[in-house]
Amino acid sequence: MSGTSLDGIDAVLADFAPGPRPCALVAATHIEFPSELRRELLALQASGPDEIVRAARAQNALADLYAHALRSVCAAGAVAAHDVVAAGVHGQTVRHRPREGWTLQLNNPARVAEKAYMTVVADFRARDIAAGGQGAPLVPAFHAAMFGDAQCHRVVANVGGIANVTNLPPRGAVRGFDTGPGNVLLDLWHARHRGGPFDAGGAFAGSGRADARLLAALLGEPFFAATPPKSTGRDLFNAAWLDRALAAAQWNGRAEDVQATLAALTARSLAQAVRTHCAGAQEVLACGGGVRNTDLMRRLGAELSGVTVATTDTLGVASDHVEALAFAWLAREAVAGRPGNLPAVTGASGPRVLGAVYPR
């Protein structure tokens, strides 16, 4: 998996043998993006010159890194490539336009299958969108299988570049949707004012004070009030969106106060989604890169007073590995010919088998 934060590739080796949970982690690895590739992937989030050629070159570079990550995680788990049933390779999202009926993940799964010598499942989102869905989020079915509890009302909050929640009541339908920005705006503002790809531990945000007037203006974005199913990405929450909001608010304050306000935006929008659409939740289990941002997690806990806020690590599933495990699970479902989407989550007209299979 390589997500909206563009920090690199998370690869896991998952064992689906019968056990107390749907799968067990055998090994994991993380491969950072070379700086040049990361810059190109960021640039490809918007239209530009020679876009088709640049995207084709970038997806080949991605495919080579995906294959390297797969070989590395197999070596770490002492498992031969030919013993892997399939690899779920999501690709790198550069555009997500479900209202227009399309989404684009850069990938070359045929090249991955060739170089990693294993069956690859890719293009998970297109079929759900073809069936009228948002194509996202796709992880709630896995969250339900992995973290659902007959006694406790849980919510899984994935805080990556974009944040999303999965509502897991003991009884009733599983629901899930994107809540808005996770780390994407925090990373952007930090890179602009401090350099480096992310705000380690939330230190930059922690040095500032959230501005109530600016926060209210940011929360005025219609996406936050929209009724699920809904999904979003860098198509909406990007530098232009933030700069317009700052200009409209006639902001002339400190950079660290903007960072603190953006952290408050992530926490507030996520907490509002839980209160509005996951009423009665007892536990919120966070996962994704955002859990390493101690300032952000502190803010989220304060916004959800009365609800236990923890990470998936407390249930024995490392927060860094949840999303990659989810796409291993989705690959298994595709190979078995079983649906991987939840129509109540994505808005699709029915269950669909997700993904195209590229045999080794």
Domains (range + CATH), the chain: 8-134+321-358 (3.30.420.40), 140-315 (3.30.420.40)
**pLDDT tens per residue, range 290-349:** 999 999 999 999 999 999 999 999 999 999 999 999 999 999 999 999 999 999 999 999
CB 262 within 8 A of CB 226: no
Q: Is the pLDDT of residue 21 over 90?
A: no
Count of Cβ atoms closer than 10 Å to residue 351 Cβ: 15
Residue 68 exposed, middle or buried by CB count within 10 Å (0-12, 13-18, 19+): middle
Residues 11-49 as b or e (16 or more Cβ within 10 Å = b): bbbbeeeeeeeebebebbbbbebeeebeebbbebbeeee
Separation of alpha carbons 309 and 271, rounded Å: 11
DSSP string, 207-224: TS---HHHHHHHHT-HHH
**pLDDT tens per residue, range 200-213:** 999 999 999 999 99
DSSP 251: -
CB 160 within 8 A of CB 198: no
Separation of alpha carbons 271 and 155, rounded Å: 11
| Nearest residue to 204 via CA among 257, 248, 240 | 257
Q: Is the dihedral of CA 198, 202, 204, 205 positive or negative?
A: positive
Rounded to 5 degrees, what are φ and ψ at 187?
-65, -45
Whose tokens are 């070159």? That residue is 57
Q: Is the pLDDT of residue 19 over 90?
A: no
Give the amino acid at 191: A
Q: Is the pLDDT of residue 168 over 90?
A: yes
Q: What angle do CA 249, 252, 257 make, to 5 degrees?
A: 90
CB 119 within 8 A of CB 86: yes
**pLDDT tens per residue, range 225-245:** 999 999 999 999 999 999 999
Q: Is the pLDDT of residue 105 over 90?
A: yes
CB 293 within 8 A of CB 202: yes
Separation of alpha carbons 226 and 221, rounded Å: 9
Predicted local distance difference test score (pLDDT) of residue 209:
98
**pLDDT tens per residue, range 44-68:** 999 999 999 999 999 999 999 999 9
**pLDDT tens per residue, range 261-303:** 999 999 999 999 999 999 999 999 999 999 999 999 999 999 9
Q: How far is CA 105 from CA 76, 82, 92, 135, 343, in A?
A: 27, 26, 5, 12, 21
Residue 122: strand pairing partners: 356
CB 306 within 8 A of CB 178: no
